[in-house]
Chains A and B, each alone.
Chain A
Amino acid sequence: MLGAAIPVLAHVGSPDVFYEGDAGPYHLFVTVRMPQVIPGVAEIQVRCENGDVNSVQIVPLRLNGPGSNLPPTPDAAKVSKDDPQFFTGSLWLMESGALQVRVMVDGAKGKGELSVPVASFAQRTFPMEKPLAGLMVAMLLILGIGVISIAGAGAREASLERGEAPGPSNARRARIVMVVTVIVVVGLLYLGKSWWALEDSDYQGRVNFYKPPTAETTLENGNHLVIRARGQNPKWSDRINMGEVVPDHNHLMHLFLIELPGMNRMWHLHPTLAEGGAFADDLPNMPAGHYQVFADVVDSRGFPWTLVGTVDLPEINGKPLAGDDSTWSGEAIASAPGKDNTVSQLPDGGRMIWERGPGPLKAATAMDFKFSVQDKDGKPAQDLEPYMGMAGHAEFVGSDLSVFAHVHPAGSVPMASLEMAQAGLMGDGSSMQSGMAMAPASGPMPAEVSFPYGFPKAGEYRIFVQVKRAGKVETGVFDASVQ
């Protein structure tokens, strides 16, 4: 079944999670809007597309290991007033790392549940707004001057007998005490400021820890590309072992090389693990050029990382493309807004059509991106096959390269993480959450493929949609202007 999806959680500028799958008899579309700080509140939206769901409960857990088998009290999602099959709720995500949101539904067809892996991480810290900063400075001044005045009043008058007026010696003592208090207050403020700076740096370190690691590349022997990950926080390599990444739909790494600046060439390759946690691959024939690197891996805890970098390559006389490796070349991305296309010619004369419907594309809106494949006669293609076990793969790339998301028919989570999430479901997880992004085991594949996703922000995007037809990978390319 094609409908269920696996979100691939590549998270370059695209932290929200879109997932489509089955909770028992119910086909659900789940969106998890991730918080910007951790601990923080994630907003969950659940839409049931095929049944009478009465209630939806949501609960956060670790994806695997300790913390994955003791769910807290579930939160009940609220049903929408306009749509009885649309539910929303909020969940505190208390930790960074690989978590899951478990969704439990109850309705006319009984109970069902599914789990959505989510990558929880702080995206940023916020500066203090000026009005609040002003208020805080005012309060600090009042408190600072207040404590000095109180110390002075205490030293001057607190020991006086009833009705006794303070004398010159009391006033002198009060002045000395106030001077000492000023020094103490200034010292404490300085210590407080230093502590705050330290805390801020600590939080910034956590934000940096989860920023996409840099892909450091070297080219050896003409076409042997070696990729090493370097975290944005020095502690990253101590805690994340690239030698222990887990396969994600059959490959340890999905490498995308996109020619810059026009994105008019793209390679989707699958390097293997080399020594010391590096990845390496023999490149195919490639023209000399400047290439953007996006490389997806999933660590042993189920957390997805996208390595990001650029590489300048000479002309490569490499090996022929084989296995699941694929490439595309064509026109450069539209340089101006409004040049969206909904039809992409395929090499065999067929076409891929984006059924995007009328109206502008909106940022931060969950959508189902549907693409139909036609043969050279304009008829629905009958020769589609699973590509790496799935009906298709889509890469959403921002024109400024600040967004990269590798999405599957199940959505934006990695298969490897999803398998871990399933392992914790009650009963037979594989039947509870069936169909996830996997292609049907037998029978003809539909000529249509869809991907649940939402653009994270406005801007120009290029979408690469990859399907496999009669043993050959074909890529449709679409440009999209998002408001």
Chain B
Amino acid sequence: MAGTISLQPPIQARSIERAYAETASIPWYIWCCMASVLSAVVGSAWDISWHETVGRDTFWTPAHMMIYLSGVLAGIACGYLILSTTFQKDSRLRDVSVSMWGFRGPLGAFICAWGAVAMIAAGPFDNWWHNSYGLDVKILSPPHVLLALGMTGIRFGALVLVLAEMNRAEGAYYRKLERMLFLAVVFLMGMTVGIMQEMTNRILMHGARFYLVMMIVAPIWIATVAWVSKNRWAATIMTAMWMAIHLAFVWILPLFPAVPKLGPVYQNVTHLVPPDFPMLLIVPAIVFDLLRQQTAMWSRWKQAATLGAAFLVSFVAVQWPFADFLLSPASRNRIFQTTNYPYFIPSTSPWVRNVFIHTDHTPGAFWLRMAIALVAAILMVRLGMAWGEWMRRIRR
């Protein structure tokens, strides 16, 4: 044809691939897995609030259904994805898949499917636990941890699905997927921080155990996202998104009227109890991003030590006085929502009386734990860096 240039087939293929890498839309299975994760995120926040407000009067609460819908959605989507990649010889994903037990599929699909199986296994385990030991009114129990592992598996699988696609993408499509990446890491951090909420109540924020727990569950995601993303403000953006989602729950849940259905009742609850105001992780995240740029040329361990220490110090610097504020009358308003207590918390509890619990019995114990928290922060940052670097290499 006049005016056209005939391309050699390999060049043509590469061009098509590049064009796809720049202009493609996010594939259905990523949307499905992210919808599954979102269902679990909203379901979990709603469920915890339901337990604290109404009480678990039946297994069939809408919040429970949202959580289990997450497992069903991820299980079906990833099961189909694995089967179609395995048995459809012309599947687009066939040569960007991994193999396991004779099946083929993206690595993230296998991880999501694992998460769905773990969630399903947690169901009968949790039911037996209730029958054997009573309905647990706490988050940290073995069946709940199995459920949380399942939910984490789905979130991690969703992240790996995004990563594989993102690391093969370019241009606008890359940027679209990067936003998905931030969201996927937000949900992972929400999971690990959320499951520890019994140890991160505001009345524990003047104890070293709180900081130790936070250093175990938060910096790893900050470092991971910073190392996997090309955005120089990745940690800040991700943490800001985490705070925004958390704040949405803090402000939206109390808008719904609800009363306890189980007893004994110790608090006059009239609406859904929201979670605590989010921790000010945004500050150490900004410090992290700033320092990361300054220390980019350092050795990995030196950089991890600096970033880990800076993360801990900046977090203590803002969260310690903020905890004072949260326990003061000035915080008892619609913004900070510090007057909402679960129906089963007696008014004699330090939480309701706004009194700090000191988890460290001696100054020596406090500083020892703080030292361990520092080591944990450094190790977790280093682990996050390594993980982030590995994630940048994921192609399948």
- List 18 additional A-B contacts (Cβ < 8 Å) besides A73-B261, A139-B120, A203-B133: A40-B134, A66-B347, A70-B264, A72-B55, A72-B263, A94-B135, A94-B262, A94-B264, A122-B134, A132-B124, A136-B121, A136-B124, A146-B110, A150-B107, A158-B393, A159-B390, A160-B396, A162-B96
Q: Does B315 contact A (CB under 8 A)?
A: no
Indicate if the CB atoms of A153 and B107 lie closer than 8 Å: yes
11 intermolecular pairs with C-beta atoms under 8 Å apart: A35-B134, A37-B130, A39-B135, A40-B134, A60-B263, A60-B264, A70-B267, A136-B125, A143-B114, A153-B100, A199-B133
Q: Does B394 contact A (CB under 8 A)?
A: yes
Contact partner of B264 (CB less than 8 A), chosen from A37, A61, A126, A195, is A61
Q: Which of chain B's residues has its CB closest to A204's CB?
A: B133
Contact residues in B for A122 (Cβ distance below 8 Å) = 133-134
Q: Does A84 contact B (CB under 8 A)?
A: no
Indicate if the CB atoms of B263 and A94 lie closer than 8 Å: yes
A208-242, CB < 8 A from B: none
Q: Chain B interface: which size bin?
A: 35 or more
Q: Chain A interface: which size bin?
A: 35 or more
Contact residues in A for B145 (Cβ distance below 8 Å) = 192
Contact partner of B263 (CB less than 8 A), chosen from A59, A159, A160, is A59
Count of inter-chain pairs, beta carbons less than 8 A: 149
Contact residues in B for A70 (Cβ distance below 8 Å) = 264-268
Indicate if the CB atoms of A72 and B265 lie closer than 8 Å: yes
B283-330, CB < 8 A from A: none
Given A150-B111, A157-B98, A163-B95: A71 touches B348 (CB 8 Å cut-off): no
A-contact 0/1 string along B110-149, CB 8 Å cutoff = 1100100110110011001011111111000110010000
Contact residues in B for A75 (Cβ distance below 8 Å) = 261
Q: Does B278 contact A (CB under 8 A)?
A: no
Indicate if the CB atoms of A92 and B121 lie closer than 8 Å: no
Contact partner of A72 (CB less than 8 A), chosen from B132, B164, B260, B390, is B260
A26-52, CB < 8 A from B: 35, 37-40
Given A72-B261, A128-B128, A147-B114: A160 touches B55 (CB 8 Å cut-off): no
Contact residues in B for A40 (Cβ distance below 8 Å) = 134-135
Indicate if the CB atoms of B263 and A126 lie closer than 8 Å: no
Q: Does A186 contact B (CB under 8 A)?
A: no
B-contact 0/1 string along A419-459, CB 8 Å cutoff = 00000000000000000000000000000000000000000
**Bound Cα distance from A282 to B197, whole angstroms:** 56
Contact residues in A for B96 (Cβ distance below 8 Å) = 162
A-contact 0/1 string along B339-370, CB 8 Å cutoff = 00001101110000000000000000000000
Indicate if the CB atoms of B260 and A73 lie closer than 8 Å: yes
Among A67, A152, A158, A161: residue with most chain B CB under 10 A = A158
Given A150-B100, A160-B396, A162-B96: A39 touches B134 (CB 8 Å cut-off): yes
Q: Which of chain A's residues has its CB closest to B391's CB?
A: A158
The 4 closest A-B pairs by CB, nearest first: A67-B264, A139-B121, A37-B134, A72-B260
Indicate if the CB atoms of A125 and B133 lie closer than 8 Å: yes
Q: Does A196 contact B (CB under 8 A)?
A: yes
Indicate if the CB atoms of B117 and A146 lie closer than 8 Å: yes
Q: Does B99 contact A (CB under 8 A)?
A: yes
Indicate if the CB atoms of B107 and A158 lie closer than 8 Å: yes
Q: Does A142 contact B (CB under 8 A)?
A: yes
A281 to chain B, nearest CB (A): 36
Contact partner of A161 (CB less than 8 A), chosen from B55, B114, B395, is B395
**Bound Cα distance from A67 to B344, whole angstroms:** 8
Contact residues in B for A199 (Cβ distance below 8 Å) = 133, 141-142
Contact residues in B for A140 (Cβ distance below 8 Å) = 121
Contact partner of B98 (CB less than 8 A), chosen from A37, A99, A158, A163, is A158
Indicate if the CB atoms of B265 and A159 lie closer than 8 Å: no
Indicate if the CB atoms of B264 and A160 lie closer than 8 Å: no
A362-409, CB < 8 A from B: none
A72 to chain B, nearest CB (A): 4
Indicate if the CB atoms of A37 and B133 lie closer than 8 Å: yes
Contact residues in A for B107 (Cβ distance below 8 Å) = 150, 153-154, 157-158
Among A60, A68, A143, A161: residue with most chain B CB under 10 A = A143
Q: Does A324 contact B (CB under 8 A)?
A: no
Contact partner of B262 (CB less than 8 A), chosen from A92, A149, A203, is A92
A-contact 0/1 string along B84-105, CB 8 Å cutoff = 0000000000011111110000
Q: Does B176 contact A (CB under 8 A)?
A: no
Contact residues in B for A59 (Cβ distance below 8 Å) = 263
